[in-house]
Structure 1
C-alpha cells in the first residue's frame, strides 16, 4: 500500500493509463478531527462493500475481488493513516495496484467500478493544489515553509542555507566600512545582499528541483527586488507577502500565503476563460461534447477544460470517438467526460478541472484544438 498526498501529473497519468476489469475508484470527504476520520472510515467501508457487489455483477475474477477486498481492509485497519487526513480521500484499487491520495479539495462521495479508474475528481487537486512553499527572506534570517490547507505550516530543512547576510559573505557584520576603505555601508550592503541571495538560491535549487508547488516570497525591499532580479524559479509567484517576515509567525505567513493562492488561482481561471472565449470565437476551440470526444480520440486537443461537478453517463468509442450516452445507473459506466480527460492526459495535453460556472461555453467541457478534426 502506498499512501500519497497531492498527486503529481505523473501520478494521474499513470492511473489514467491503466485498463483492466475491476478498477475501483472511491472518493470521500474526510477531515482532520478523530470524529471526522471515524465517519470517513465507516463511509469507506460501505463503499468497499458496494464495490465488491459491483465487481461480482461484472463477473470479475474472484481472486481479483478478494485482492481488492484485502487491500481495502488494510486501509481501514491502518490507524496511523487515519490520524492524518486532509479534506478528501481518493482510493484506487484493482487487485494489483492500491494507492490513496489525501486531497486538499473538498470532494463529494462516490464509488466507481469500471475497466478504468475514475480520475476526473483527482484533476481538481492537480489544477489547484492548495499547497505552496513560502520563502521568508530577511537580512537577519531566512526560512522555508511548506503549507497545506488543513495542517499547520512546516519548516523545511534546506542544507547549506545561509543563516543571514553576514554568514553568507563570511563577515561578522555588514555595516560600516572596513579599515582599508572597502565599502560596507548602505551601498555595500546591497552587494552583500546579492551574495546572500545567490547563496540562498544555490541552497534552494536541489530542494525545489522536483517541486510542482508555487513558491511565495515573503520579504521587504531591497531584498524583494534583489531576489527577484537574481534568482530564477519558474514557480515563483508574482505577488509578495510584504513586510519584514521576522515580524510574522509561521501561522501568520501561512494565512497570508493562502490569500495569495486564492488570488493566483482566480487570475488563472479568468485568463483561461478569456483565452478560450477568444479561441471559441475564432473556431479553434470546441464546446460540443461529441466534437471534443472525437478530437481527444485523434490526439487533436491542445488543452482541455472540464466541469468537475458534472457527470455525463456513457462511453466513448475507442476508434471513432463517437459517444454512446447511457443511463445514470449503468454498471461499469465510466462517464464520457472522464474518458475524454483520460485520452487527453495520455496525449500529454493539460487538463484543467473547474467549477461549472467557470467552464467556457457553459457546457461539460471545452477544448482548444491543434487542428480541425
Structure 2
C-alpha cells in the first residue's frame, strides 16, 4: 500500500537548521509491494551499518553512536511502517532526532554523515510534488479525487458534500426568491447552480484550508464560470479538464490531471528562467557559486534553484561565505550546494530542486538576491 508523509518547507527548514556531530542522512528508493519494501529495508540496514562504522571511526561519543543505532533499529523493526511505503524514503538520525519521510518522487540511494543533515534531495518533494486534487463537477454529481505520482487515484469522502444541484438548493434562493416560484428558466437554473457551488465550497473548505497541492477542476460551462466566480482558492489551476466528468473514471481524470500538472510545472520553470534572465541583467541574479555562497551567508538570497543530482564537494566558511573545494565529500565537509541551501532556508528563501537542464546558467545553482553583498 502506498503511503506518503511529505515534508513541508517548515519541516525542511527545521531539519536543515540542526547542527550536531554524528548526523546521519539516508535516502533510498522504495516501493509499495512487499518485495520492494523488503529490499528497501535491507538497503537501509546496510546504510545504517556503514554510518555506524563511520561514526565510530570519527570518534563520535559512544553514547551518541548507540543512540543512532537504537533509532535505526527501531525503524528497521517497525513492521507496520514497512507495510506502507511510497517511491522513496528519507531517514534522519542524530541520537536525539529520528525522523522519516516517505516521498512520492524517486531518489537515488545515498548515506551522508556530518555535523548537519543532508537536505538537498528532500527539496524535490516540495518543488514539483506531482500530487493534486481533482474536483469533478457536474450538475448531477460531484467527486473530489486525490491524484498521486503512482498508484491508483482515490476518491476523498467530504462530509456535507451535496450530491447534486437539487440536493443543494434550499427553499429560498440567494436573492430571497423561491427557486421554484418567481425565478424561472435560465436565470433560475444559474441561481440553483450558484447555490450548489456555494454548498460545495462550504463542504470543501476544511479540506482545502490545509491543502498545499494544486486543485484542478473537471467541468463544463456554465459550471466552470460559476465555480471560478464563487471560489477563491490560491491553489486552483487555470487549466480545466474539459468534457463531462461523469463520463470519466477516477483513473481517467487522474491521467488528465497529471498532464495538466506537467504543463503547470513547465510554465513555472519557463517563468523562473525568464525571471532569472532579467534579474541577471539587472545585477540581482547570480550564477557563480562563490557569489551565491557569499549571498547565502549574509541572508541575501531571495530565490535559490539548484541541480538536484550534482554534488560539489567542499565547505563554506561560516563568516565570509568563502568556498573551499575538495575532491570528495567527507564527514568534515558536507557539500557546497547543500550548505548554500541550508543558509538560504534559514533566511526564508524560496527554493527549487531542478534537473540540470532547467538551472539558469547551466551551473550547480543559481540565485536571485534581495540586495547586493
Alignment of 1:284-363 (within 5 A): 284-363=284-363
Cα distance, 1:280 vs. partner?
A: 1.2
SS of the equivalent of 1:296 reads helix
**SS of corresponding position for 1:26:** strand
State the 1:224 CA deviation. 0.8
Task: Determine the C-alpha separation between the residues in 1 that align with 2:333 and 2:40.
Answer: 25
- Secondary structure of the equivalent of 2:72? helix
Q: Distance in 1 between matches of 2:5 and 2:252?
A: 24
1:18-37 Cα shifts (integer Å, max 9, x gaps): 11111110001112222222
Q: Which residue matches 1:209?
A: 209
Offset at residue 329 of structure 1 (A): 4.4
Is structure 2 residue 104 aligned with structure 1 residue 99?
A: no
Tell me the CA shift for residue 311 of structure 1: 0.3
**1:10 and 1:57 mapped to 2: Cα distance?**
33
1:174 maps to none
Q: Give the number of equivalent residue pairs.
A: 367
Counterpart CA distance in 1 for 2:46 and 2:268 is 38
Gap change, CA 1:110 and 1:179, over 3 Å in 2: closer
CA contact (8 A) 1:306 1:366 kept: yes
Q: Are the aligned partners of 2:22 and 2:94 in contact in 1 as well (CA < 8 Å)?
A: yes
Is the contact made by 1:178 and 1:184 (CA closer than 8 Å) also made in structure 2?
Answer: no
Residues 253-262 or 150-159, more deviating: 150-159
Q: Distance in 2 between matches of 1:179 and 1:106?
A: 52
- Give 1:246's aligned residue: 246
Aligned twin of 1:133: 133
- Aligned-partner SS, 1:162: coil
User: Aligned partners of 2:181, 2:119: CA distance in 1, in Å?
Assistant: 65
TM-fit CA distance, 1:4: 5.9
Matches within 5 A, 1:108-147: 108-147=108-147
Other structure's SS at 2:7 match: coil
Q: Distance in 1 between matches of 2:368 and 2:331?
A: 32
Q: What residue in structure 1 maps to residue 187 of structure 2? A: 187
| C-alpha contact (below 8 Å) 1:4/1:100 kept by paired residues | no
The 1:191/1:66 distance shift into structure 2, 3 A limit, reads same
Moved more, 198-207 or 326-335: 326-335
Q: Describe the superposition over 1:326-357 as per-residue Cα deviations: whole angstroms up to 9, x where unpaired.
A: 22142332111001011111111111110011
- By how many angstroms is 1:370 displaced? 1.0
1:86 has 2:71 as partner: no
The Cα shift of 1:40 comes to: 1.1
Summarize the alignment of residues 163-242 of structure 1 with structure 2, pairs less than 5 Å apart. 163-170=163-170, 181-242=181-242
User: Comparing 71-80 with 48-57, which one deviates more in the overlay?
Assistant: 71-80
Question: TM-score, normalization: structure 2?
Answer: 0.94
8 Å Cα contact 1:284-1:369 kept in structure 2: yes
Find the residue that maps to 1:225 and give its secondary structure. Answer: helix
**Superposition deviation, residue 320 in structure 1:** 0.9
- TM-score, normalised via structure 1 length: 0.94
2:371 paired residue number: 371
Q: Alpha carbons of 1:179 and 1:19: their partners in 2 closer, same or farther (altered >3 Å)?
A: closer
Are 2:67 and 1:67 aligned?
yes
* Distance in 2 separating the partners of 1:179 and 1:264: 39
Taking structure 1 as reference, are residues 317 and 187 closer, same or farther at Cα in structure 2, changes over 3 Å only? Answer: same
* Residues 23, 169 of structure 1: alpha-carbon distance in 2 compared, 3 angstrom cutoff: same
Separation (CA, whole Å) in 1 of partners of 2:335 and 2:320: 17
Stretch moving more, 304-313 or 70-79: 70-79
**Cα separation, partners in 2 of 1:181 and 1:29, compared to 1, 3 Å:** closer
Greater alpha carbon shift after TM alignment, 99-108 vs 180-189: 180-189
The verdict on how the C-alpha distance between 1:301 and 1:16 changes in structure 2, with shifts beyond 3 A counting, is same
Q: Which runs of 4+ in 1 moved over 6 A?
A: 177-180
CA distance in 1, matches of 2:4, 2:62: 28
Q: Is the 8 A contact 1:141 1:246 kept in 2?
A: yes
Distance 2:32 2:134 in 1: 23
Q: 1:179 to 1:9 in 2, by over 3 A?
A: closer
